[in-house]
Structure 1
Amino acid sequence: METPESPAAAERALLAGASRRWVRLLPWGVAFVLCVAMLPTTIQVLSVDYGLNGGIASALAVTQTAPLLLAVIRPLQAWYVIFAADMAGAFALLAVDFEERLVWPFPPMEIVGYIGLCLALGLREPRRTLLLVWLATAGAGVGLEFVVPNGMSGNSTLLTILSGVALVLVGALRERYEAQRRLAEQETISEAERGRRTLLEERARIARELHDVVAHHMSVITVQADTAAYRLDGLPPHEQEEFTSIAATARESLGEMRRLLGVLRNEEAHGELAPQPGLTRIGQLVEATVRAGVPVEFTSCDADVPEAVGLSAYRIVQEALANVVRHAPGASTQVSVSESVSQDSARLTVLVVNGPPPEPTAEPLEEGGTGHGLVGMRERVRLVGGELDTGPLPGGGFRVAARLPVTENDSEGAA
């Protein structure tokens, strides 16, 4: 990230990072107008009103106004030139006789140009540089007060005050803008990190649950292979050795899986050893939601699906109903679980649709939302090779539709 002090930022024009084009062009426009207006005016005032030599007046006018264009990109370097030119002009005016009504050491147009330069400095330079610039201005003003021509009052104090106000005001506004920009960047980064953490937590949870599902099947394979010799009479020796090898391989695989995935299990969490829920437990979710004050119409089917698919369907309905309770309490909701079979493939469709909350008594328990629940749904559907469709309804409410492949071939094709 570029800072006001970094070399990359120093090469950019003032306000170059603004989103609107007219704001980016504003410093160039102001500098151009100042140069066009002040250059002939300065020559006229120094040569005619103050009686300075025309060549010297022209040289001073150019060095006091032209660097304002440079100030759009390099305001500090422009300040060196203009500050030196203003000091040279003040001493040059001491060599000529001019009317007492005229101000010294800085004619009005020089004050205008110097304040514009201070505004550019405040937009670019750090606080320490701004302080040094003001101290140099104040020191020069104090020094010039000792050589004020007789009968005249110097206006260096006015320049010191106006430049200080310009530097402080613009510098403070710039630092406030930078603080807000960094805060917005941190909030964006934090939100991305929260989303990433939620995704990782959901993946860990899925891994723990799948570990239990796979461990159950591996345990069944091990038991069946170990007891084959006792359940099946007349097994040849080579077949008994085959079953023994299968049992040993399954037992070894089960141990490896537990060592690799066991770190994902939180030993302090309660209920980790309970059987994982499936389609038969969705009805209990609906009953609990009805008790929470949400009218739910539930239709289901007696589908024989793999445990991983049943578990994913249960979690999707669980998260969808939880969102209804949080964001649309009292809204009528339909939950449907159905199976469709076509040729050699079968799919389980999970549909949760809720309408808008009843008016005017229902108040959302939570305003807005992070969308992290949808992250978990998508991850579960992706895991089994399914499809997820979510979104608001035209008349209010929300729809969650998941299509989960039941057969292995369909799952591979969807993935």
Structure 2
Amino acid sequence: MIQSPPLRFLRELFTPVGPPTPLLGQARRRWVRLLPYAVAVVFVAILLPVTGTVLVREYGLDTGLAVVLAFLQAGPLFFAVRRPLLAWAVVLAADVVGAAALLGVPARAEHPWPWPPMEIIGMLLLMLAVGLRERPRTLVAVWTLTFAASVALRSVAPGRSSAVWVALVVIGGVLMLLGGALRGRGDARRALAEQETISEAERARRTLLEERARIARELHDVVAHHMSVITVQADSAPYRIAGLPPGASEEFAAIASTARESLTEMRRLLGVLRSEDTGEEPGGERAPQPGVSRIPQLVEATVRSGQPVELTVGPEVAAATTALPQAVDLSAYRIVQEALANAVRHAPGARTRVSVSVSAESLMVLVVNDAVAEPDAPLESSGTGHGLVGMRERVRLVGGSLDTGPLPEGGYRVAARLPFTGHD
């Protein structure tokens, strides 16, 4: 059904905002969420009998009609917690009908008209509830209709009208402004909290991607070394092995060609990882990658910075250094490097112990620092999270396990197991 623009505008104007969620339903404290229900119950329990009694005894209205009006004027406060705009519309219509019904009874100067006091109290509560829920243009429409209804009834019987309706219009407008301001403040705080959550998730994702890119750049040399060995062996096979059949020579040539193409593609990928987005030059990071054999130098540099560090390297480590997989060798060094850097930043001066050992299937790295002597001593109270993310990614890369966390007696522990044969 096609609606004219004015009807469409009115429909949009008086359509409630969002689902019928309770007022203050997003508050953190439970008592705040229950407060609107408690207020509604209290005022309905008071206004319902008072309205019926006053309309009958004071205004002289018929009992049956007074009871019906009392339910229509006070009862909607129950569902005003979820649909305040609808409740206001029902109450306003009931108040107008009640004002018209009071024209049929003798007027008394001490009885306000068109709005008796109990109707004004209920209407003010509803206008505050509408202000807490609806859009500003809807609030303007509600106030305008309330004002127009008051003026229209006053013009029908100016001799019966009192100035009480002015209080309803003025105080109701103030309450709607207050409710609108509180609603806007709440919306702004929720939007800010949502944006902070999104920003935190984006930062965590960016940190993870940066660490993976850094690890990929470092492992380029490891993979490139193996691919280069394959290329050289495949190219030299016809010269090193006498009497190779022509088919085998062609197969070795194909292997060498494929290895060279793989190296070329890998260098292109590395160029993407070293693009301007990372702030690095394409020609950077060409130095040999460090390994377990350089951990003593790393510990010496940390000691020179003022951090007491004890290094324990098992006798089997030196013998196994040359046979370590390069990914494990590099990962062990980087984990120790990051753990020592964290100890210097967050526990300067605390005793730190580094242990590197080798078993039949894996390399074990353990870095433990004691609690810092003074509570205010840490150079940094918070970090970016890059260090732990990088450790986890390196351990995951080789199919190992990582255990990090504070110790019961204070301090921090980093324990990594790097198996020689990774798994998915």
Range of TM-score over shorter length: 0.7 to 0.9
Choose which of 395, 405, 412 in structure 2 pairs with 1:381. 395
Q: Deviations over 1:238-284 (max 9, x none)?
A: 56555444433322332333344542233616632222221122223
* TM-aligned CA deviation for residue 146 of structure 1: 4.7
The match for 1:332 is 351
The match for 2:220 is 211
The match for 2:418 is 404
Residues 289-368 of structure 1 aligned to structure 2 (within 5 Å): 289-300=302-313, 301-302=317-318, 303-304=320-321, 305-341=324-360, 346-359=361-374, 363-368=377-382
The match for 1:133 is 142
Cα distance in 2 for residues equivalent to 1:259 and 1:289:
36
Amino acid in structure 1 at the alignment position of 2:394: R
Q: CA-atom RMSD, angstroms?
A: 2.7
Is the CA contact (8 Å cut-off) linking 2:17 and 2:135 kept in structure 1?
A: no
Cα distance in 1 for residues equivalent to 2:409 and 2:15:
52
Cα distance in 2 for residues equivalent to 1:38 and 1:405:
76
Q: Deviations over 1:125-174 (max 9, x none)?
A: 11111121122223334445556655974201111122122211122112
Is the CA contact (8 Å cut-off) linking 1:145 and 1:156 kept in structure 2?
A: no
Is the CA contact (8 Å cut-off) linking 2:401 and 2:418 kept in structure 1?
A: yes
Cα distance in 1 for residues equivalent to 2:272 and 2:15:
45
Moved more, 37-46 or 256-265: 256-265
Moved more, 145-154 or 213-222: 145-154
Cα distance in 1 for residues equivalent to 2:408 and 2:165:
68
Cα distance in 2 for residues equivalent to 1:324 and 1:6:
59
Q: Share of identical aligned residues, percent?
A: 63
Structure 1: gaps of 5 or more residues: none
Does 1:53 find its partner at 2:66? no
Amino acid in structure 2 at the alignment position of 1:227: S
Moved more, 320-329 or 8-17: 8-17
Residues 91-170 of structure 1 aligned to structure 2 (within 5 Å): 91-146=100-155, 150=159, 153-170=162-179
Choose which of 238, 256, 268 in structure 1 pairs with 2:281. 268
The match for 2:189 is 180
- Over 3 Å counting, the alpha-carbon distance change for 1:291 and 1:138 in structure 2 is farther
* TM-aligned CA deviation for residue 177 of structure 1: 1.3
Cα distance in 2 for residues equivalent to 1:61 and 1:359:
69
Cα distance in 2 for residues equivalent to 1:6 and 1:54:
35
Amino acid in structure 2 at the alignment position of 1:188: T
Cα distance in 2 for residues equivalent to 1:152 and 1:25:
39
Cα distance in 1 for residues equivalent to 2:164 and 2:261:
93
* TM-aligned CA deviation for residue 7 of structure 1: 7.3
Cα distance in 2 for residues equivalent to 1:40 and 1:279:
85
Does 1:282 find its partner at 2:295? yes
Q: Which secondary structure state, in structure 1, belongs to the residue aligned with residue 359 of structure 2? A: strand
Q: Which secondary structure state, in structure 1, belongs to the residue aligned with residue 78 of structure 2? A: helix
Is the CA contact (8 Å cut-off) linking 2:17 and 2:134 kept in structure 1?
A: no
Cα distance in 2 for residues equivalent to 1:143 and 1:24:
38
Moved more, 192-201 or 240-249: 240-249
TM-score calculated relative to the size of structure 2 = 0.85
Cα distance in 1 for residues equivalent to 2:49 and 2:395:
74
Aligned length: 400
* TM-aligned CA deviation for residue 93 of structure 1: 2.9
- Over 3 Å counting, the alpha-carbon distance change for 1:359 and 1:10 in structure 2 is closer
Q: Which secondary structure state, in structure 1, belongs to the residue aligned with residue 64 of structure 2? A: helix
Cα distance in 1 for residues equivalent to 2:17 and 2:158:
46
Cα distance in 1 for residues equivalent to 2:154 and 2:161:
10
Cα distance in 2 for residues equivalent to 1:55 and 1:74:
28
* TM-aligned CA deviation for residue 405 of structure 1: 0.7
Is the CA contact (8 Å cut-off) linking 2:16 and 2:85 kept in structure 1?
A: no
TM-score calculated relative to the size of structure 1 = 0.87
Q: Deviations over 1:98-119 (max 9, x none)?
A: 4423333322211111112112
Is the CA contact (8 Å cut-off) linking 1:144 and 1:156 kept in structure 2?
A: no
- Over 3 Å counting, the alpha-carbon distance change for 1:135 and 1:284 in structure 2 is farther
Cα distance in 1 for residues equivalent to 2:370 and 2:284:
33
The match for 1:257 is 266
Is the CA contact (8 Å cut-off) linking 2:395 and 2:401 kept in structure 1?
A: yes
Amino acid in structure 1 at the alignment position of 2:366: L
* TM-aligned CA deviation for residue 380 of structure 1: 0.8
Is the CA contact (8 Å cut-off) linking 1:75 and 1:124 kept in structure 2?
A: yes
Is the CA contact (8 Å cut-off) linking 1:115 and 1:163 kept in structure 2?
A: yes
- Over 3 Å counting, the alpha-carbon distance change for 1:157 and 1:7 in structure 2 is closer
* TM-aligned CA deviation for residue 9 of structure 1: 3.1
Is the CA contact (8 Å cut-off) linking 2:16 and 2:134 kept in structure 1?
A: no
- Over 3 Å counting, the alpha-carbon distance change for 1:77 and 1:185 in structure 2 is same
Cα distance in 2 for residues equivalent to 1:7 and 1:81:
14
The match for 2:93 is 84
